[in-house]
Structure 1
């Protein structure tokens, strides 16, 4: 902020004395923070543009052929090169630097002065490009173009050029962290590209809060093919792996990591119980009076969350609904008992006994939805109770899926698979870019 104020000061109209010109260039040098350049003069200041002439500090450069500057001489200039730099006060900033011709008498090679702050034959500085790419990562090219006052095609091209290298660096970093993490906990879950048709599977480091990889499909054949093609995945040593109740995932993990604790994700398990509560509600609803039926239908979502999370007004509405039917009340109490079992079981042994008591409580409810849910719970009893050996869930993974869906909507489901994968990995690991 101080540098911006200094630039604002120097951009005002002052008498063009030699002393004032020196003050202006001094402040602009501080703002630009480009050590290889010194500001020669302000060329022009318009409503939306600032043009600055800058010169290199050194007299000569090392020859790219012989790596020596002993025999290098200047041989004139091909004119001025215009480079777009970071904007200030919503003004586009342009640096005008000379394209100096150099000649090395040792190897008789001619070359042009190379600037570190901008790439060869590029019209945008490295800082401008990196800042533009950073803004475009969490947004769209059109939005980044409006902020930077640059063409959308230019922003898109900068984004596409930066993504592969950025993805490779992030990919390497998150995998190194996973290998070094003690008692690593992995999360495996799928998300839809086209719901009901095409899916991807994500592998996540729950402790490190990073996404490790993305593989196409969710069937067992695709999972096994990934493990064979990526030996670094098999070299991981996770303490536990959190998954939903898909049999393919549990079979795959038991083959890859037989010593790991397989945990059924609490969010998905709880979903089966809530679904059975709503099935009972749909059965009870037609038997009520029109007024009670309307009231129950309008407030049916109050049956899902824990009672302690409801406000006083919502708790009163819930109590009114439960008074409509003893079956609905016993079903809701069974659901609440499951939440209490998850939250209050102190260890694995107590949790196993509590789970059996909860199943016995459910056996007393005479409803097909309850019996179906109990059948699923008993089939996956070990994986569900394993939560109390290692209390991890895929909650962060579900949040990451929301970011992935937003990415897919912004990029209209990119057809290029490698670019699509790189974009998702960057989107999910963007917080790690701060360490670069």
Structure 2
């Protein structure tokens, strides 16, 4: 695949000495008709053609970090067709949207399907929030300081438990009981 910045109009080199670099020339020379092998590991997601109006499907080669295909719809039927034409797909990273799941399962049964990083992090965050909400009382109690009376002076000032060493705090608790 030749980068867009490497493609110049005839005569552009004369007009602008920086229009074509040695690196670009090497890439053009080395790029054959099938220089890029078929993708094995892909990511599938939706993309906005017109935000809020029209969405398509993007397929990305995750090994090369390059977009492979932009499909005009995200209904899953075009993804199914594309996957059928690419039996070399080994891993398919996708979100949890049902049409993508159905298309991948039907057209690429050989491919291992995995959740994308964004959705994994979202799932972890939601699970952690539910856990913290359920155990908020216990967590608050664990961080509330316990006041222990000093055995030396029954009427003296009280010492917060966290100000004592762990061994001293345990000893004072045993003596208080």
TM-score, scaled to structure 2 = 0.52
Of Structure 1 and Structure 2, the greater helix share is in: 1
2:79 corresponding residue in structure 1: 223
Unaligned runs of 5+ in 1: 1-117, 120-124, 135-165, 285-321, 330-436
Equivalent in the alignment of 1:186: 42
Q: Does 1:258 align with 2:109?
A: yes
In structure 1, how many angstroms separate the alpha carbons of the residues matched to 2:105 and 2:16? 46
Deviation digits for residues 140-172 of structure 1, max 9, x if unmatched? xxxxxxxxxxxxxxxxxxxxxxxxxx9xxx9x6
Residue 177 of structure 1 corresponds to 36
Cα separation, 1, equivalents of 2:96 and 2:139: 26
Tell me the secondary structure at the aligned position of residue 187 of structure 1.
strand
CA offset at residue 222 of structure 1?
4.1
What CA deviation, in whole Å up to 9, does each residue of 1:163-213 have, x standing for no partner?
A: xxx9xxx9x65xx5232x6xx211111223444432221111111222111
Task: Give the structure 2 partner of residue 274 of structure 1.
Answer: 125
1:259 match: secondary structure: coil
How far apart, CA to CA, are the structure 2 residues paired with 1:207 and 1:248? 24
Give, in whole Å, the separation in 2 of the partners of 1:328 and 1:196: 42
Q: After superposition, where does 1:303-382 map in structure 2 within 5 Å? A: 325-326=136-137
- The one of 237, 241, 244 equivalent to 2:92 is 241
Match of 1:177, SS? coil
Note if 1:126 corresponds to 2:12: yes
User: What is the rounded CA distance, in whole Å, between the counterparts of 2:52 and 2:138 in structure 1?
Assistant: 34
Mapped to 1, the partners of 2:37 and 2:137 lie a distance apart of 50
C-alpha displacement of 1:247: 1.5
Residue 213 (1) aligns with residue 75 (2): no
What CA distance in whole angstroms lies between the structure 1 residues aligned with 2:120 and 2:127?
12
* CA RMSD after TM alignment: 3.8
- Number of corresponding residues: 122
Q: Shift of residue 268 of structure 1?
A: 0.5
2:6 aligns with none
Secondary structure of 2:37's partner?
A: helix
SS class of match (1:191) = strand
1:326 positional shift? 3.5
> Equivalents in 2 of 1:222, 1:328: separation in Å?
50
The equivalent residue for 1:202 is: 58
- Asked if 2 retains the 8 angstrom alpha-carbon contact of 1:239 and 1:261, the reply is yes
Report the Cα distance in structure 1 between the residues aligned to 2:88 and 2:109, rounded to whole angstroms.
10
Partner of 1:423: none
| C-alpha separation in 2, matches of 1:132 and 1:252 | 43
**Closer/same/farther in 2, CA of residues 130 and 250 from structure 1, 3 Å limit:** farther
